[in-house]
Amino acid sequence: MSQIDVNLNKIMNLIRFNANLSRYADVGELVRQSPDYILEKYNHWISFNPVIDEPIYTPDDCEQLIHQYSKIWGRFPTQKVTRHLFYLQQTNSMKLLNMVEKFEVYFGPIELISSEEKNGLHFILERDFVSKVVEYNEEALTIILRDLKLKKLVNN
C-alpha cells in the first residue's frame, strides 16, 4: 500500500467518525448520543488515545451543549467525552480543513489516526453522505494529502 493510500485511509476514517455522529446524517442530536457510543466510534475509526491534554475551558459555542449533555448523561460520563463533544460540535459543518485543525487541537496529529481501511457505516450513509462530503472537500483533501506527504519527507 502506498503512502497516499495510507494517508487517504486516515482522512477517510476521520470523515467517517464525523459522519457517524453528524447532524446531517440523520443519527439524532449529538446531545442524545451516549458517551459510550461516542467513545466506541472514536476507538473504531481513530484508534489511538489522545495525546493532547484535556481541554481546560469550554469554547463559547459548546457551553450549551455541555450543559444539556450533563443534564442527560450526568457529570462523570460527560467528562469522559468532553474533548469529543467539543470536537464534534466545532466540526459539524463537515469542512475537512476545520476537521483536521480541530482534531489536532483536541486529540493530536492526524498522522496517528488508524491507517487501516475500516468499514462500519451503513452503505447508504457511505454512498449518499460520505461521498458528498469527500466531493465537497476535494480541494482540501488534496492539500491535506500533500501536507502529509511533505511532513513524511521532511521527517525522514
64-79 residue pLDDT tens? 999 999 999 999 999 9
Q: Which domain holds residue 136?
A: 3-155
The total number of structural domains in the chain stands at: 1
Most confident of 5-9, 22-26, 151-155: 5-9
Mean residue pLDDT across the chain: 93
Q: How far apart are CA 149 and CA 156, in angstroms?
A: 11
Percent of all residues in the chain with a pLDDT value above 90, rounded to a whole number? 86
Residue 31 has what DSSP assignment? G
> Looking at residue 135, what is its pLDDT?
97
Contact between 48 and 114 under an 8 Å Cβ cutoff? The reply is: yes
Name the pLDDT band for 18 (thresholds 50, 70, 90). Answer: very high
d(C-alpha 102, C-alpha 28), whole Å: 22
Helix intervals (H) in the chain: 3-20, 35-45, 63-73, 75-80, 82-90, 96-106, 123-125, 131-136, 138-155
Which pLDDT does position 155 carry in this prediction? 82
pLDDT band at 59 (very low <50, low <70, confident <90, very high): very high
Q: Which residues contact 70 (CB under 8 A, 6 or more apart)?
A: 78
Q: Global pTM?
A: 0.94
8 band by pLDDT with thresholds 50, 70 and 90: very high
pLDDT at 83 over 80: yes
What is the rounded distance in angstroms from the CA atom of residue 151 to the CA atom of residue 134?
22
Neighbours of 46 (CB within 10 A): 23
Read off the pLDDT of each residue in 119-139 and give the average, rounded to a whole number: 94
Helix axes of 96-106 and 3-20: crossing angle, nearest 10 degrees:
90
Give yes or no for residue 2 having a pLDDT over 80: no
